[in-house]
Amino acid sequence: MIRKWAFRAIVLYLLFGIAMYAYLFFFANTAVPEALRGTAVDPATFLNGRELMLSEDYSRIRNLLFFLATPYEWLFYFLILIFGVSATFERWANHTSKFYVIRSAIYLFWLSLTSFIIMFPLSYLSFTISKSYQISTQTFSGWMKDKLIDFWVSYGTMFVVITVLYFLIKKFPKRWWLAAWGLMIPFSIFMMFIQPVVIDPLYNDFYPLKDKELETKILEMADKANIPAEHVYEVDMSTKTNSLNAYVNGIGSNSRIVLWDTTLERLSEEEILFIMAHEMGHYVEKHIYIGMAGYILLSLIGLWLTAKLMERWLARRGKEWKVEKMSSLSSLPAFLLITSVLLFAASPLTNMVSRYQESRADTYAIEMTQDKEAGIESFQSLTKAGLSQVNPPYLVKIFRYGHPTMLERIKKIDEYELNK
């Protein structure tokens, strides 16, 4: 029976991959509507023929990898669960120590290492494709360094989460999901607080903006937006990518305004100020806190659903998978599988909310800078640097895009009537 489940799961994954390939490469329509051709929205007005071809090819491949990677992860969790691999990891951990914390660390290490190895081919494929299209500028050794940092940061975070989670499952068998939700709130806030000053510097060097005149202008904008920032930081992303970006992250005293050096090198001052105004719009409209509230609400629903589904699933199949009970660490792949599926299912909703917030931030940037030209040119530059599709397929938009499409963003600015 287990072999049948495994065979069916693999066949289903392959059929899904074929269907997504056909959709993205043959059926999806990414052309700009006839009424918008020749306008600022039309990529033919700011990309040459080769760039147009590359943006379509690269976007299709990148989108296909996205739709393949998530169910590939589900397949991994399902197979190690039904073949008893997870139970074997737990048995190794139990034989190593009598202390729960140490057993948890050992089990999670083997699971994380196996996941890293299994997911590595897709990650490496994504890296090589990005290199071939000259989006990534990173060396293989630099990329591997980041992957290893990812591994240990994820492992450390997961160790804390899983150790506490399974303690709660043992302590509160029927209401563990509620206790976990209660502890998740302060933990999420703590992670947001330390992200800019502890985690981000592990990957890149951050230093005060060298262009002091530009920094003064950005800080003046920040002061108008009541953002508690004394410095603007730049980060050396040119060693990794040709893409452009800027952001404001962190909360409270750890809030940071950050510009990628690629953005500083390739955009005009007016375009940079427009992008920074957009990022400040998120702060002004309290999008971070609204997002946190939504995350907290969805997490409560998600944990409750996960608890119910795990309970039923393991009651029916646990013995076949050598998972004795829900509080066994070997049940973790079931937890990760269910939560991943739920997150994916919720992504159209969360992305829709995010797109609304991004649109609001665009409006704030237009009103603050009163510079439509800079806004249009900055989005055109972002499209060109990232080889992005201006009008992506519908499924790509709802499952991948936390921002409005470039067609929507440029069209909005182009048609926006400035205050006189």
**Adjacent-strand bridge partners of 258:** 233, 247
Residue 306 pLDDT > 70: yes
Residue 323 pLDDT > 90: no
Compute the mean pLDDT over every residue in the chain, rounded to the nearest whole number: 91
pLDDT of residue 342: 96
Instruction: Give 65-100 pLDDT, tens digit per residue.
Output: 999 999 999 999 999 999 999 999 999 999 998 899
Q: pLDDT grade, residue 252 (50/70/90)? A: low
* CB of 354 closer than 8 Å to CB of 333: no
Residue 420 pLDDT > 60: no
Instruction: Give 36-58 pLDDT, tens digit per residue.
Output: 999 999 999 999 999 999 999 99
* CB of 360 closer than 8 Å to CB of 285: yes
Residue 246 pLDDT > 90: no
Q: pLDDT grade, residue 248 (50/70/90)? A: confident
Residue 229 pLDDT > 80: no
Starting from the edge strand earliest in sequence, which strands make up the sheet with 206-208, in order?
206-208, 232-235, 256-260, 246-249
- Catalytic residue annotation: 279
Q: pLDDT grade, residue 400 (50/70/90)? A: very high
* CB of 208 closer than 8 Å to CB of 232: yes
Could you tell me the sign of the dihedral formed by the alpha carbons of 328, 330, 333, 338, in that order? Answer: negative
Q: pLDDT grade, residue 253 (50/70/90)? A: low
State mean pLDDT over 174-184: 93
- pLDDT higher for 227 or 146? 146
pLDDT of residue 284: 86
pLDDT of residue 315: 86
Task: Give the number of other CB atoms < 10 A from CB of residue 152.
Answer: 11
Each domain of the chain, given as residue ranges in start order, spans 2-202+286-415
pLDDT of residue 79: 95
Phi first, then psi: give them for residue 234, nearest 5 degrees: -115, 155
Instruction: Give 4-24 pLDDT, tens digit per residue.
Output: 889 999 999 999 999 999 999
Counting residues of the chain whose pLDDT is more than 90, the rounded percentage is 69
Q: Is 96 helix (H, G, I), strand (E, B) or coil?
A: helix
Residue length, the chain? 420
- pLDDT higher for 221 or 146? 146
Residue ranges of alpha helices (H) inside 225-331 are 261-266, 269-284, 287-317
Instruction: Give 95-116 pLDDT, tens digit per residue.
Output: 998 899 999 999 999 999 999 9
Angle (nearest 5°) at CA 155 between 154 and 159: 115
Residue 419 pLDDT > 80: no
Residue 188 pLDDT > 60: yes
Counting residues of the chain whose pLDDT is more than 70, the rounded percentage is 98
- pLDDT higher for 295 or 341? 341
